[in-house]
Structure 1
Amino acid sequence: MLNIVLHEPEIPANTGNIGRTCVATNTRLHLIEPLGFRLDEKNLKRAGMDYWGSLDVTTYIDYADFLERNPGAKIYMATTKAPKVYTEVSYEPDCYIMFGKESAGIPEEILVQHQEDCVRIPMVGDIRSLNLSNSVSIVLYEALRQNGFAGMNLEGHLHRLHWGDSGKLL
């Protein structure tokens, strides 16, 4: 099972959307405090819809607590400061993909400890970053693709449409 880690997220709607994506992909969500919101906040629940109750979520008091409770975890760091693109690494089925807070990203003192595992999403021009929930989706789905979308529904089915004698759609 893959793991998404949010380091000090600030915007409840982003975290709610990420939580919904985690439920849809059977991915664990890890939240490193301080959070810019309360977990019972209405905006968080609204963005996560009725999926929040099904979310496998763990909170940590700080980054040291996260490391202590997840010893030996393979952690990829999503950052605009990375030298390689997120598609250039092979994501293990149980790896952790960390994203920083919306206003500042992952602190550099953490990034320098994981330089080889830093990945970026390509962008043009002077754009500082993408929306956090969009960034999580982009990288998470690449990791899922690399792992064969294990346990996920890979095809949908259209309902057959029938035309009546009058030429109207039934």
Structure 2
Amino acid sequence: MNVALFQPEIPQNTAAILRTLACFGASAHIVGPAAFDLSDRAVRRAGLDYAASVPLTRHPTFDAFKAAVPGRIVLLTTRADTLLHDFAFHEDDTLLFGQESAGVPDAVHAAADARVRIPLVPGARSLNLAVAVGIALMAATVSSGAVTTRGLE
């Protein structure tokens, strides 16, 4: 399973996400420029002992990212009609998450192969990005058959 962050803005979220990906054996992709230092040294420092175990690929543009990843790009967005628990994930899907403040541009939204949202109670706008990644990655991993919940014990 792959997770991609579109122009991430908050380094602490990215560090927490790297730790989550390491624990699930997932790969990371950064699409476009980040709003903070993403040098190898900075990533190692932010990810502590987990950063080295997460394959991290940087893509300068969305088009470069789309051309490089196998399988479907599944955008997690508050603007989706399909709920997370109703979507059938594949093991080679890449879960794409937008910027903390703005999500993804309309062109990226339209170019995704699928759009899915995490259901929230009425009136709730969104989750913290790192929390959303954890929820979606767990659901996608189990749904795709990549691992069962028993395999995560």
Does TM-score exceed 0.5, indicating one fold? yes
- Look up the match of 1:92: 90
Alignment of 1:13-162 (within 5 A): 13-40=12-39, 45=44, 48-70=47-69, 73-114=71-112, 117-150=114-147, 154=151
Richer in helix (by share):
2
Shift of 1:68: 2.3
- 1:43/1:132 Cα in 2 relative to 1: closer, same or farther (>3 Å)? farther
Farther off after superposition, 103-112 or 29-38: 103-112
Q: Secondary structure at the match of 1:90?
A: coil
Shift of 1:47: 5.1
What 5-or-longer segments of structure 1 have no aligned partner?
157-170
Q: Which structure has the larger Rg over C-alpha atoms?
A: 1
- Look up the match of 1:12: 11
1:98-125: CA deviation from partner (whole Å, max 9, x where unpaired): 00010001212221233x6110011123
The alignment of Structure 1 onto Structure 2 pairs a total of residues equal to 153
Kept after mapping to 2: 8 A contact 1:86/1:139: yes
Shift of 1:42: 8.6
Kept after mapping to 2: 8 A contact 1:16/1:45: no
CA distance in structure 1 between the partners assigned to 2:103 and 2:114 by the alignment: 15
- 1:151/1:125 Cα in 2 relative to 1: closer, same or farther (>3 Å)? closer
Identity of aligned residues (%): 33
CA distance in structure 2 between the partners assigned to 1:24 and 1:40 by the alignment: 22
TM-score computed with the length of structure 1 as normaliser:
0.80
Shift of 1:34: 1.1
CA distance in structure 1 between the partners assigned to 2:3 and 2:29 by the alignment: 6
What 5-or-longer segments of structure 2 have no aligned partner?
none
CA distance in structure 2 between the partners assigned to 1:149 and 1:3 by the alignment: 12
Task: Tell me: higher relative CO, structure 1 or 2? Use CA pairs within 8 A at least 6 residues apart.
Answer: 2
